[in-house]
Amino acid sequence: MADEKIEETEEENKDEESATEESEKPIDDEESPVETPDEVEEIEEEIEEEIDEDGEESLEDLEGIGPATAKKLMDGGYSTIKSVATAAIGDITEAAEISEAKAKKVITLAKEKCNMGFESAESLLVKRQDIGKLTTGSETFDTLMAGGLETQAITECYGEWGSGKSQVAMQLAVTVQLPLDKGGLDGEALFIDTENTFRPERVMQMAEGVGLDPKEVLKKIHVARAYTSDDQMLMSEKAAEMVRNSNIRLVIVDSLTSLFRAEYVGRGTLAARQQKLNRHLSTLHKLADLNNCVVYITNQVMSKPDMFFGDPTKPIGGHILGHSATFRIYLRKSKAGKRIARLVDSPNLPDGEAVFKVTENGLED
Ligand SMILES: Nc1ncnc2c1ncn2[C@@H]1O[C@H](COP(=O)(O)OP(=O)(O)OP(=O)(O)O)[C@@H](O)[C@H]1O
Ligand SMILES: [Mg+2]
């Protein structure tokens, strides 16, 4: 049912795209081959207005980028000037097959075009006042997160198999639908499932657990199954569009790393994998930031056999992921069905632990 929704929106978007193509045609019209300076100015103004509206212009507007290079960049996943502005030099040299010096120049130009710069701390504070908190259903877990999972941020949960990462994901897809006074965000959820572990039956149990109508809850969760890391990247970009035009307040990627891990095997592929993950995370960050929604991602751990003290497990994805998630939670199983969540990295909260249970009703204290 939820799959259908995504397809529907895809169709709608296709329609929109063709509509804009048509409306742009008059600019290229060959009726008057020689245009007057006034006309040129008018067209330029029009284009500028368009750019202001959606904040994006074509790659060819960057000095030194011809149609062939622009196409290579597009094929490499850099379809907007913003995506070039936030890319690493190595990514651009590889995607566009240009020299390092040229890539550097292109990135600098893209940054200038995007007007990327500083914001006053005061205006940041105003933006942060909009931050919402999403309840996990467990009071102790919420307390650890100072009230719940924050919007405008990525929260990563990592842990071994069966530690409850997907349980938390499904639970959040339910609680996001609660009204604000019950700790929800009165919104819908988008679920990118890479491991085929999303279970509507389980979600229905959880919905009953928080007193919501299970059937209604299912209608407001939009599930997309990703089979490859490319699927996953595309879906996150698609998600950005969907979130903008709907009441989606939570985006889940469960799991963030499993497909990448399966596809990029061996040390030689590590750099490529990290670059791609980095780009994926940047899409998710923007999504959270620009739409004031919660992004929840899960991640497995890999064992570190050379470690003798402490916990011999490390989240996958290395430092790129470490610096990219705003909040990181390490989840582990404890006795009698209990789970321990440890907040390991947060920009504004103290590290700490919370103990909760996963029951038939979902997450509980
Ligand atoms: N209906 C239920 N009632 C109680 N506990 C449940 C129920 N369904 C699942 N669980 C608990 O959740 C566990 C599975 O957790 P989950 O799928 O979230 O793990 P995970 O961290 O996502 O693991 P993986 O890395 O394999 O994806 C089960 O082992 C069980 O303990
Ligand atoms: Mg899971």
CATH number of the domain within which 41 lies? 1.10.150.20
Residue 113: per-residue pLDDT: 81
Does ligand 1 come within 6 angstroms of the Cβ of 159? yes
Counting ligand 1 atoms within 8 A of each CB, the residue from 161, 167, 254, 330 with the most, and so the one to mutate, is 167
Give helix 165-175 / helix 200-209 axis angle, nearest 10°. Answer: 60
- Domain end point (choices 72, 89, 114): 114
Ligand 1 geometric centre to CA of 162 (Å): 5
Does ligand 1 come within 6 angstroms of the Cβ of 162? yes
In a domain, 35, yes or no: yes
SS (H, E, C) 221-287: EEEEECCCHHHHHHHHHHHHHHHHCCCEEEEEEECCCHHHHHHCCCHHHHHHHHHHHHHHHHHHHHH
- Whether 186 and 314 map to the same domain: the answer is yes
- Whether 136 and 100 map to the same domain: the answer is no
Does ligand 1 come within 6 angstroms of the Cβ of 358? yes
- Whether 37 and 142 map to the same domain: the answer is no
- Domain end point (choices 51, 79, 114): 114
- Whether 92 and 175 map to the same domain: the answer is no
- Whether 176 and 278 map to the same domain: the answer is yes
- Domain end point (choices 63, 86, 114): 114
Ligand 2 geometric centre to CA of 43 (Å): 52
Beta bridge partners of 352: 343
Residue 79: per-residue pLDDT: 79
- Whether 41 and 143 map to the same domain: the answer is no
Give helix 89-96 / helix 100-114 axis angle, nearest 10°. Answer: 110
- Ligand 1 atom, smallest distance to 205 CA: 1
Residue nearest to atom 7 of ligand 1 (CA): 360
**Cα 257–Cα 259–Cα 262 angle in degrees, nearest 5:** 105
pLDDT digits (tens, 9 = 90+) for 338-356: 999 999 888 888 889 999 9
> Which helix (H) or strand (E) is 60 found in, with range?
none
Residue 123: per-residue pLDDT: 84
CATH number for the domain spanning 279: value is: 3.40.50.300
Residue segments in the chain with a per-residue pLDDT below the cut of 50? 1-33, 35, 40, 43-44, 47-56
- Whether 171 and 47 map to the same domain: the answer is no
Other residues' Cβ atoms within 10 Å of the Cβ of residue 190: 30
In a domain, 15, yes or no: no
In a domain, 7, yes or no: no
In a domain, 10, yes or no: no
Residue 319: per-residue pLDDT: 56
- Whether 200 and 348 map to the same domain: the answer is yes
Residue nearest to atom 26 of ligand 1 (CA): 161
Q: Give the total number of structural domains in the chain.
A: 2
In a domain, 40, yes or no: yes
- Whether 178 and 323 map to the same domain: the answer is yes
Does ligand 1 come within 6 angstroms of the Cβ of 360? yes
Whole domain around residue 155: which residue ranges? 124-364
- Whether 130 and 109 map to the same domain: the answer is no
Q: Which ligand is nearest to the Cα of residue 164, counting in written order?
A: 1
pLDDT digits (tens, 9 = 90+) for 76-127: 878 788 788 888 888 889 888 889 998 998 888 888 887 666 788 888 888 8
